Amino acid sequence: MAVRIEDLIDIQDVRQARDKNSPNIIPQDTFRHIEPLAKELGFLETHLLKAQDIATGRWVRLKCRYGCAKYNTSWCCPPAAPNLQMTRDILSEYELAILLVSENTNEHFYRNSGVKRRIQIKQWKSTVALERKLFLMGYYKAFGLPADTCALCKECAYPKQCKFPNEKRPTLEACGIDVFQTVKDLGQSTGLVRKIQDCFYSYSLILLA
């Protein structure tokens, strides 16, 4: 679904809120350049949002700690990922972010499988690739927080040195970002999936500027 920037964010607000001395970071047509790049990389939807509208919560990392087998096994997950306070401090240094939506079906969601890993790798690499493109467009602070977890290696080298440090990023949930609330606040539905064969959405973020 194509989303008009005017529906999501008041650019004038952002400009007024910004420090008067900072450069003009968000031309009116920025989003129109970014959206096709995201589409090329396989994202279904792209939403521009204010960094202050990214919800965070302590409960998110509680779910990582209790109930996720990846806890303490990956560079991209807690406790290696930035903690909640660090995440909030980092978000306060940004004004804009991009939420990227992917649509998937995966009957192997709860099992480790080649199919699951392929989906994870595609999302991961697409997020990092878009971050790189944005950096080259002049958004030097662009930083990707991909969905799910890093599956570039069959088994993460953690706590030994990462094998692909250029692509190492923390996932957004690992940083304590409340994805459900953030998506809801954008006026979008997360479309909770109850049957394993149904389509589900997954979300990545890029902190932009």
Task: Choose between 35 and 167: whose C-beta lies nearer to ligand SF4.
Answer: 167
Distance of closest approach, residue 166 Cβ to ligand SF4, in angstroms: 9
Distance of closest approach, residue 110 Cβ to ligand SF4, in angstroms: 19
Q: How many degrees, rounded to 5, is the angle at CA 182 between CA 57 and CA 201?
A: 115
Q: Backbone phi, then psi, for 122, in 5-degree steps? A: -60, -50
- CB-CB contact of 152 with 124 (8 Å): yes
Distance of closest approach, residue 152 Cβ to ligand SF4, in angstroms: 4
| Distance in angstroms (rounded) separating the CA atoms of residues 171 and 63 | 14
What are the residues binding ligand SF4 (CB under 6 A)? Answer: 74-76, 150, 152-153, 156-158, 162-164, 167-168
Distance of closest approach, residue 151 Cβ to ligand SF4, in angstroms: 6
Task: Choose between 162 and 183: whose C-beta lies nearer to ligand SF4.
Answer: 162
Task: Choose between 94 and 158: whose C-beta lies nearer to ligand SF4.
Answer: 158
Distance of closest approach, residue 124 Cβ to ligand SF4, in angstroms: 8
- Where does residue 180 rank: exposed (0-12), middle (13-18), buried (19+ CB within 10 A)? middle
Task: Choose between 29 and 155: whose C-beta lies nearer to ligand SF4.
Answer: 155
Task: Choose between 95 and 167: whose C-beta lies nearer to ligand SF4.
Answer: 167
Distance of closest approach, residue 169 Cβ to ligand SF4, in angstroms: 8
Task: Choose between 2 and 69: whose C-beta lies nearer to ligand SF4.
Answer: 69
